[in-house]
Structure 1
Amino acid sequence: MVTAATRPEFAESTIVGHVDTKSHNHAAETSTIPPSEHGRPSSVVIAGSGIIGLTTAWRLRRRGIEVTVLDDAPVSGASFAAAGMLAPVSEVVWDQPTLYPLMVESGRIYRDFAAAIAHDVDHDIGYLESSTFVCAGDSADRQTLNELLELQHRMGMTVNRISVSQARAAEPALGPGCVGAVDIPGDHQVDPRRLCGAILEFLGDRVVSTRASEVLFNEDHRAIGLRGANGKSYRADHVVLAAGVDTGAITGIPQALTDLLRPVRGEVLRLRVPEALRPLVTRTIRGVVQGNAVYIVPRADGTIVLSATTREDDMVGVHAEGVHQLLRDAHRLVPGILDCEIYEMTAKARPGSPDDVPMIGRVGDGLTVSMGYFRHGILLAAIGSRIGADIVCGTEKDNNPALLAAVNPFRFGNR
């Protein structure tokens, strides 16, 4: 666990990615809006106080830049619901090659990132380095697990096949429904509510309780601030839009960008484990059960976060079918789930892009977006906030060009 007591030596320069000249993509560098002639800003206003807006604000404050964050309901969206899995390995699937390097790099720097936040905010943010087990619920699921294992090994990732008896020895709550397992030592977890709450406290009155409604521009069409829903103007040298699915409601952002965002919802259950059964599990248990994904994420306080459903429909609230699926599939792997108390159910909208890779970049003079993180916002916060802060400061070339190309907001030909 990383806590404030770690007191690490941490500087922004220690986590700046190395530029791989072999993969240098000149076209990618010139496909975004060029840096402002005004140079490094002294002030930035940010729309949105989810994990992306907050961690970007935290990085900018560390660089000596004054920040203001606008949000009428801080940490109430996708970051509030998120389970907090940091799973660059177990999230690997076949058809998202540009997403893998981002996840791997973010996972690589996350420990230092989490330790630096804990140091600055003087709080435990719930970062746990226990490994992740991925379990199969039947023979077909075991074959799916084998295929993913092959892909992960092909990509050079560390994944250890373990026997079911080994898995049960480590996690006795695993039931007879578990017929296959792998151990992923590099997939960890963080508590998004603790992390975001700690940064909110760190920022204090720099977070203003109003929704950003409009980007303000001067006569040269340079972004000079945001207007809040309260009617007040918040001037700054640079504007960052990181309001998740609500980014599209802000006037002034190019519609060609906001049209690409789509809300993707999923049920998340929070359960309280009876004292007599604690700890039910000691690490994240990810499962494939009859082709469905399910995640069982334990917290240090004896609670469990249960999630995995994904839907793109018009239902804003919690879907009964999703709740049933989660409990059914989790019970197959960990029967003790049915002895727990459900104390919270949420279904927040996550902002998806066409390829499920975030869009981070300068989209106008003095205007940067950081959006479209889909289901990976917690994991990608480390790399996303770094790239976003570098873009604001005009130092984005300190990052691997391939990563910048992957998150280029104009990669869809939508300029």
Structure 2
Amino acid sequence: MVTQSSDSIIIVGAGVIGLSVAWRLAGRGAHVTVFDKGKAGSGASHAAAGMLAACTELEPGEDWLLPLNRESQRLWPGFAAELESATGLSVGLRGEGTLHVALNADEQARLRHHFALQEKAGLPVEWLPAGEVRAREPLLASTSGAVWSPEDHQVDNRKLAAALRAAAIGAGVNLREDAAVERIVIENGRAAGVEVGGERHAASTVVLAAGAWSRGIGGLTPDIRPPVRPIKGQMLAVGMDAGNPLIRHVVWASGVYLVPRIDGRLIVGATAEERGFDDRLTAGGILSLLQNAWRALPGIEELPLIETWAGFRPGSRDDAPILGSGPVAGLVYATGHHRNGILLTPVTADIVSRFILDGEHDPLAAPFALERFHAHAA
């Protein structure tokens, strides 16, 4: 049995990427259905820390990611305001910026090297001496200085997922939760729909936005299967006094980051492990997070532990997103965002929706096509 119209758009995955693309498409009148194997926003979108850290997270050799990351960072204030206006729901966007601290001389040397890399890339960062770090965050441990990234903000990823779910439904998106896509149907050289529970759903376009699970969707031959794997991250949260929190900025230190929420939660993350879809928490993983957090913020030892969890970042072969069209007509990719899924939500939604509806190939997306992996293999 075949359901739906062949001119509809089906999105596989209801994380923040899939939901934001659906919202943009439906806002322009498209007929959109989103399928997810679980509840909307329950995967990496739920597990993330919500950092918008385009500057802090720059790594050697990743300059090619900066234009996309920085453009999405620029879009975030307007995107958040539009989403909040559409739904009446807050996404918890905070603008205090990020401090990347060094706690001893060795860490200072490494951080100075990283700071030089950021300056060379033209990023808006500043070196702060120890006294200024203490003035901004007096309860941090003694530091040897810090890199100040005033444009690296944060959003509450769980609130974001809830708001995008509401916005998508409000725009007319048909959201099908607890409905796992078994395979993407390819006929006559193009995507023709999906199969869910043995039932075929026809579509003119299928968007693959299933995060770390994208590679496992059936119906994809090796040349069109995205090379995406799960990268496990263990995390925890402690409870601060919301009216008198230990820290107000996002703080990075050796082996850990600390993300304070408006409601008093302090998010502590995250490990990076190649463990497949093993979601078990480990004593070593949690211990390392707590030890590194305590080194940076000694007062954390008095705080109640309120939650622990693990999630799966969708890492591609080069840890960069896979965006846009591929070898099969009608199959569009929006996956592989690795540690930047929350950051890249606005720009991904814009790029993918404009490609589907207008045929527009945004130059920002050009480096992130699936074909780059085929070129490397040739």
TM-score by length of 1: 0.83
Aligned to 1:90: 56
Aligned to 1:226: 194
* Percent of residue pairs identical: 35
What are the Cα deviations for residues 61-81 of structure 1, in whole angstroms up to 9, with x where unaligned? Answer: 122212110013121211111
Aligned to 1:236: 203
Aligned to 1:70: 35
Length, aligned pairs only: 364
Partner of 1:396, secondary structure, is: coil
Aligned to 2:360: 396
Are positions 1:112 and 2:74 aligned together? no
Aligned to 1:263: 230
What are the Cα deviations for residues 157-185 of structure 1, in whole angstroms up to 9, with x where unaligned? Answer: 11111122211222122122x22212111
Q: How does 1:4-23 map to 2 (within 5 A)?
A: none
> 2:285 pairs with 322, 328, 334, which one?
322
Coordinate RMSD, CA, aligned: 1.9
Partner of 1:134, secondary structure, is: strand
Question: Is this contact kept in 1: 2:139–2:246, CA < 8 A?
Answer: yes
Partner of 2:372, secondary structure, is: coil
What are the Cα deviations for residues 112-156 of structure 1, in whole angstroms up to 9, with x where unaligned? Answer: 122111122221111111111110122111111111111111111
> 1:61 pairs with 10, 20, 26, which one?
26
What are the Cα deviations for residues 278-335 of structure 1, in whole angstroms up to 9, with x where unaligned? Answer: 31111101112xxx3x110000001111113211125431122121111111111111
Q: How does 1:131-280 map to 2 (within 5 A)?
A: 131-176=97-142, 178-204=143-169, 206-209=174-177, 210-218=179-187, 220-228=188-196, 230-258=197-225, 260-274=227-241, 278-280=244-246
Q: Which runs of 5+ in 2 are unaligned?
A: 1-5
> 1:129 pairs with 90, 95, 103, which one?
95
Partner of 2:84, secondary structure, is: helix
For residue 248 of structure 2, what is the amino acid of its counterpart? T
Q: How many angstroms apart in 1 are the aligned matches of 2:341 and 2:220?
A: 21
Q: How many angstroms apart in 1 are the aligned matches of 2:302 and 2:367?
A: 44
Aligned to 1:34: none
Q: Which runs of 5+ in 1 are unaligned?
A: 1-40
Question: Is this contact kept in 2: 1:272–1:342, CA < 8 A?
Answer: yes
Question: Is this contact kept in 2: 1:98–1:357, CA < 8 A?
Answer: no
Deviation at 1:274, TM superposition (A): 4.5
Q: How many angstroms apart in 2 are the aligned matches of 1:97 and 1:162?
A: 24
Q: How many angstroms apart in 2 are the aligned matches of 1:233 and 1:208?
A: 14
Aligned to 1:333: 296
> 1:409 pairs with 370, 373, 377, which one?
370
Are positions 1:304 and 2:266 aligned together? yes
Q: How many angstroms apart in 1 are the aligned matches of 2:228 and 2:95?
A: 32
Partner of 1:266, secondary structure, is: strand
Query: Aligned in 2, Cα 1:106/1:259: closer, same or farther, shift over 3 Å?
Result: closer
Aligned to 1:3: none
Question: Is this contact kept in 1: 2:68–2:365, CA < 8 A?
Answer: no
Are positions 1:345 and 2:308 aligned together? yes
